[in-house]
Amino acid sequence: EIVLTQSPATLSLSPGERATLSCRASQSVSSYLAWYQQKPGQAPRLLIYDASNRATGIPARFSGSGSGTDFTLTISSLEPEDFAVYYCQQRSNWPPGYTFGQGTKLEIK
Amino acid sequence: EVHLVESGGGLVKPGGSLRLSCAASGFTFSTFSIDWVRQAPGKGLEWVSSIDSSSTYIFYADSLKGRFTISRDNAKNSLYLQMNSLRAEDTAVYFCARESAAGMIGFDYWGQGTLVTVSS
């Protein structure tokens, strides 16, 4: 079973700063990776699909990169509404299904 | 506009059963795979199960050990999750989520979730 490890667990930054979130897979997942944002009391929102493609309506300050085992979500200049928890997700062919990382909490410094 | 609305959550005793529903609207339900994802209080996301558009391919998280059954009724634009032999560790908000178009990795629409509490 593929394990996704996100780092750091918590990231403290100020509005306007650049955020870099990491997601590492225990074995290659090719580009089968997505990123989500979740705010308290809300459902997750898809940000990035297939490792590097922004979902519909997602601002250009969000970008994803990587392939194989190492992936990065970058927020170029933090807005107040970006402080939330971020999850990565991968799809595996065997066993068939999906796995989420444990999340990175992005908090205001 | 795409909408997914879960229902059926509530308080159930350990060993009991519950059936969750997810009502879909605003898209051609019969052409998308749909998943259940859960989130225990204060914890991260856990994928539970998926079902493809024709109910041909059905998958579950290993941790469920055969206790849950996913199904769908395309005529009613509805998804279901039958949960049996419930345990305290099944306490969570259960979300239904639509998989993106074929070949794309990501769940592009989510419901707001329904809370399942397993407690005596």
Summarised one tens digit per residue, pLDDT across range A41-90 is 999 999 999 999 999 999 999 999 999 999 999 999 999 999 999 999 99
Rounded to a whole number, what is the distance in Å from the CA of B75 to chain A's nearest CA? 26
What is the rounded average pLDDT of the residues A90-100? 90
Name the DSSP class of A30.
T
Q: Determine how many CB atoms are found less than 10 A away from the CB of residue A99.
A: 21
Q: Which chain A residues are closer than 8 Å to B106 by Cβ?
A: 34, 46, 48-50, 55, 89
Testing the interface with B: which of A98, A99, A100, A105 to mutate, by most B Cβ within 10 A?
A98
A24 and A14 Cβ atoms separated by less than 8 Å: no
* Closest residue by Cα to residue B120 from B9, B14, B17: B14
A100–B contact, CB cutoff 8 A: yes
What's the mean pLDDT when you consider all of chain B?
96
A1-27 pLDDT, tens digit each = 899 999 999 999 999 999 999 999 999
* Closest residue by Cα to residue A13 from A77, A103, A86: A77
Rounded to a whole number, what is the distance in Å from the CA of B94 to chain A's nearest CA? 10
**Smallest Cβ distance to A95: which of B62, B95, B108?**
B62
- Which residues in chain A belong to E strands, given as ranges? 4-7, 10-13, 19-25, 33-38, 45-49, 53-54, 62-67, 70-75, 85-93, 96-100, 104-108
> Which residue ranges in chain B fall short of pLDDT 50?
none
A25-38 pLDDT, tens digit each = 999 999 999 999 99
Rounded to a whole number, what is the distance in Å from the CA of B81 to chain A's nearest CA? 16
What is the structure's pLDDT at A15?
Answer: 97
Q: Please give the residue that has the higher pLDDT: either B98 or A95.
A: B98
What is the structure's pLDDT at B36?
Answer: 98
**Smallest Cβ distance to A103: which of B44, B50, B108?**
B44
A 20-39 residues with CB < 8 A to B: 31-34, 36, 38
CA–centroid distance for A59 within its chain: 14
* Closest residue by Cα to residue A88 from A44, A55, A57, A56: A44
What is the structure's pLDDT at B101?
Answer: 83
Rounded to a whole number, what is the distance in Å from the CA of A62 to chain B's nearest CA? 16
Secondary structure class of B116 (helix, strand, coil) = strand
Q: For residue A93, name the pLDDT band (cuts at 50, 70, 90).
A: confident
A14–B contact, CB cutoff 8 A: no
Secondary structure class of B90 (helix, strand, coil) = helix
Please state, in angstroms and rounded to a whole number, the distance separating the CA atoms of residues B83 and A104: 30
Please state, in angstroms and rounded to a whole number, the distance separating the CA atoms of residues A88 and B45: 10
What is the structure's pLDDT at B102?
Answer: 72
CB contact (8 A) between residue B106 and residue A89? yes
Maximum distance among all Cα pairs of chain B, rounded to whole angstroms: 43
What is the structure's pLDDT at B69?
Answer: 97
Token representation of residue A1: 């079973």
Q: For residue A95, name the pLDDT band (cuts at 50, 70, 90).
A: confident
Please state, in angstroms and rounded to a whole number, the distance separating the CA atoms of residues A19 and A76: 7
Please state, in angstroms and rounded to a whole number, the distance separating the CA atoms of residues B11 and B90: 11
A68–B contact, CB cutoff 8 A: no
What is the structure's pLDDT at B107?
Answer: 97
Q: Which chain B residues are closer than 8 Å to A90 by Cβ?
A: 105
